[in-house]
Amino acid sequence: MKLGFNEATALKCKGQSLMADLEACEKYGFDYIEIRFDCVREYLKDHTLEELADWFKNHNLKPWAYNTLEFFNQRDEAGEKEIDEHVDFIIEVCKAIGMKMLITVPTCNVKDKSVSEIKEEAVARLRYLSDKVGSDIRISLEFCGTPFCSINQFGTAYDVVKAVDRDNVGITVDTFHFHEMCSKIEDLRNADGKKVFVYHLNDCEDLPLGSCGDDKRLWPEEGVVDHAAIASALKEIGFDGVCTIEEFRPEYYEMPHEENVKKAAEVTKAFVKKYFA
């Protein structure tokens, strides 16, 4: 199992930037980084994609995924145009630096739409995006564990991915999101491990289910997520990808940037050793 770092983890630390994340991730032994849309746009104000590609050529750390293509479904015409433009940018970034994945999250607050209507439309949108990015880039659908998200459980997201039926469309298992909307471990056990493209690692405070925002995330094993069950299901179905830490916690943003990345590396390594050795 490889180790990944999502830039959200240190996003608001003093001194954070894409380059600071890259250097610290290299130093503390991460294999992959998930690059955030806002961090890469900030980087490109003073740098080029060629410079970024050069950096990766000269380091062990590699780019894993683009995070995130937000709100891909249930959009109006202007919204779909926005998605097209964003995807054009993502393709440009991916091609330049050899990144092969984009993560996408569903739209929230779609009033009066039934789950079957949501699924049907999401399948059509993902097929469209699958064609648009081409076979060299994979799309990972990340359901979000909030009552307001149009796709908020593993089972629903997996139904969509299965119906899309494309090699380059799969699913993200984010342990916080999995816990928050009571996704079923049986659904994960019955899934095809090859369809799990991304594994986001974190934990969650012991608060009423569905009530937590991302700021209630904790370092893995410091909260109430049933990691043993999720990890054993992932092993059972043959998942062997990247385990990527992803936090959004204000207290962690108070840490010096390098300490944050160092801590993230320590807990991710310990977690992978415990559950996947």
Binding site for Zn ion (CB under 5 A): 174, 200, 246
CB of 19 to Zn ion, least distance (A): 23
Beta bridge partners of 97: none
Taking the least distance from each CB to Zn ion, the nearer of 4 and 25 is: 4
The backbone torsions φ and ψ at residue 33, rounded to the nearest 5 degrees and listed phi first, read -130, 140
Instruction: Name the residue nearer to Zn ion (CB basis): 7 or 246.
Output: 246
- With respect to Zn ion, which residue has the nearer C-beta, 55 or 197? 197
Q: What is the DSSP letter of 243?
A: E
How far apart are CB 15 and Zn ion at their closest, in Å? 24
- For the bound state, the minimum distance from the C-beta of residue 78 to Zn ion, rounded and expressed in Å, comes to 27
First to last CA, the chain: 8
- Output b/e per residue, 84-106; b: 16+ Cβ within 10 A: eebbebbbebbebbebbbbbbbb
Choose between 55 and 202: whose C-beta lies nearer to Zn ion.
202
DSSP, res 106: P
Closest contact distance (angstroms) between CB of 116 and Zn ion is: 25
- Helix/strand/coil for 179: helix
Least distance (Å) from Zn ion to the CB of residue 101? 13
Minimum distance between the CB of residue 23 and Zn ion, rounded to whole angstroms?
23
Q: Choose between 55 and 220: whose C-beta lies nearer to Zn ion.
A: 220
Full DSSP string of 153-172: SHHHHHHHHHHH--TTEEEE
Of residues 4 and 233, the one with the C-beta less far from Zn ion = 4
Beta strands in the chain (DSSP E): 2-6, 32-36, 62-70, 101-105, 138-142, 169-174, 196-201, 203-204, 217-218, 242-245
Contact 99, 63 (CB under 8 A): yes
